[in-house]
Amino acid sequence: MIIAVFKEKCPEECRVALVPSTAASLAQAGHQVVIESSAGLSAGYRDEEYAHAGAQIEADRSRLFERCEVLLMVRGPGINPQQGAIDLSRLRSDHIIIAFFNPLMHPQPVQELAATGVTAFALELIPRISRAQSMDALSSMASLAGYKGVLLAANALPKIFPLMMTAAGSLMPAKVFVIGAGVTGLQACATAKRMGAIVSAYDIRPAVKDQVRSVGAEFVEFELTTQDAEDRHGYAKSQSDEFYRRQREAMTKVLAENDVVIATAGVPGKKAPVLISEEMVGHMAPGSVIIDLVAELGGNCVLTRPGETVHYKGVTILGPVNLASSVAFHASQMLAKNVASLLDHLVDVDKHLVINMKEVITLNTLLCKDGRITNQRVLETLGQ
């Protein structure tokens, strides 16, 4: 197959869908890899590295669409505000796209994408099963967000994280509380612990208690009844408004005892639950920091503003977006391996793409084909 890798046009998107090492692997497997000129530059990968890996360099973006069969992007045309409309007009029904599309939060653009007749696979929809772990790009990026979120917290906090013995006396370690123990939260726990903080975490899923403890954090438990806390995809499920009200009451004291709160609780395809009220922030000590890592989903804190820093009664609230892009070199490495694994899963021994709708990974990840949306979760989001 002729595989094309495009330069990202979204604002502040520095990642690239394929790095030279994975391009080399695909070329050695018999595929022809074509890279748009400077596609990897913002992530730290030069055109010369791709060429040395066996890829061709194409300066003309429209020509790249004409030449290729498989399109690899970080953000698909439907969620690209700058180049999206132009790229949509260049799509053909024989094109195959693998990218992030955010179809559960923004399903309407998927209808425009489907209308082009392309075959599209959404990286967000890869199921959380053992066979698909090597393809799980969402978890890869979430892990990086957890890591980087702790660094942002350490930078904003007017304290140091570790216990430090000095000639002026002992400096006590910072206390970090993580809300949500998914991939992002567990990485945040592990990173804060490595930096010397006293770390605790909470999740509505009691089953993650051992995972929290395995990364060196204490698991905080509230006297709340949690039923059906996890869906069949391995994600936390939405709870009732009454549950979230009682949860906020129980959490108020814990927040006041910590220097840093890292919020990571999100439900795929839905607005993030508001777990931190204005009143709860008001009980926190001046100088405390909240890092809301689900700001793009609306935020766990009612005061969060995506992409902005808010100050409220001495508390700093950060709502970073697209954190994985801020560590684009390694984010691109991880993403490229995820994409290459998915490609390997989809092709047969003759290197032709095969869509087997009876196979669970293909069935769940396929977004649209032959002019229609095929993914059941997206159709349900659209009310179809």
Q: What is the mean pLDDT of residues 100-127?
A: 94
Pick the range with the lowest mean pLDDT from 64-68, 76-80, 148-152, 286-290. 76-80
Residue 205 is predicted with a pLDDT of: 84
Determine the Cα–Cα distance for residues 272 and 262; give it in Å rounded to an integer. Answer: 14
The catalytic residues are 128, 133, 136, 139, 235
Residue 234 is predicted with a pLDDT of: 52
User: CB of 54 within 8 A of CB of 25?
Assistant: no
DSSP string, 155-183: HHSSS-SS-EEETTEEEPPPEEEEE--SH
Give the rounded distance of the alpha carbon of 229 from its chain centre: 21
Which residues touch 308 (CB under 8 Å, ≥6 apart)?
319
Residue 85 is predicted with a pLDDT of: 81
Which has the higher per-residue pLDDT, 233 or 250?
250
Q: Tell me phi and psi for residue 322, to 5 degrees.
A: 50, 50
pLDDT at 235 over 70: no
Residue 224 is predicted with a pLDDT of: 66
- Token digits of residue 361: 């990974």
Determine the Cα–Cα distance for residues 255 and 277; give it in Å rounded to an integer. Answer: 11
User: What is the band of 349 on the pLDDT scale with cuts at 50, 70, 90?
Assistant: confident
Determine the Cα–Cα distance for residues 257 and 273; give it in Å rounded to an integer. Answer: 22
CA-based nearest residue to 18, from 32, 30, 33: 33
Q: Angle at which helices 328-346 and 20-28 pack, to 10 degrees?
A: 20
Q: 161-166 long-range contacts, Cβ below 8 Å, gap at least 24?
A: 161/192, 161/195, 161/196, 161/197, 162/195, 162/196, 162/197, 163/196
Determine the Cα–Cα distance for residues 297 and 261; give it in Å rounded to an integer. Answer: 17
- pTM for the whole thing? 0.91
Determine the Cα–Cα distance for residues 79 and 289; give it in Å rounded to an integer. Answer: 31
Give the rounded distance of the alpha carbon of 27 from its chain centre: 28
SS3 191: helix
Residues written for the chain = 384
Determine the Cα–Cα distance for residues 61 and 46; give it in Å rounded to an integer. Answer: 17
User: What is the band of 141 on the pLDDT scale with cuts at 50, 70, 90?
Assistant: very high
Which has the higher per-residue pLDDT, 45 or 239?
45
Q: What is the mean pLDDT of residues 199-228?
A: 87
pLDDT, one tens digit per residue, over 297-306 is: 999 999 999 9
Rg (CA), the chain: 22
pLDDT at 138 over 60: yes
User: CB of 78 within 8 A of CB of 367?
Assistant: no
Give all domains of the chain, ordered by start, each with its CATH number: 2-125+327-381 (3.40.50.720), 143-321 (3.40.50.720)
User: CB of 272 within 8 A of CB of 294?
Assistant: yes
Half-sphere exposure in the Cβ direction for 124 (13 Å, CA): 18
What mean pLDDT, rounded, does the chain reach? 92
Residue 232 is predicted with a pLDDT of: 55
User: What is the band of 283 on the pLDDT scale with cuts at 50, 70, 90?
Assistant: very high
Residue 227 is predicted with a pLDDT of: 56
pLDDT, one tens digit per residue, over 185-195 is: 999 999 999 99
Q: 351-359 long-range contacts, Cβ below 8 Å, gap at least 24?
A: 351/1, 351/29, 351/30, 351/31, 352/1, 353/1, 353/70, 353/96, 355/119
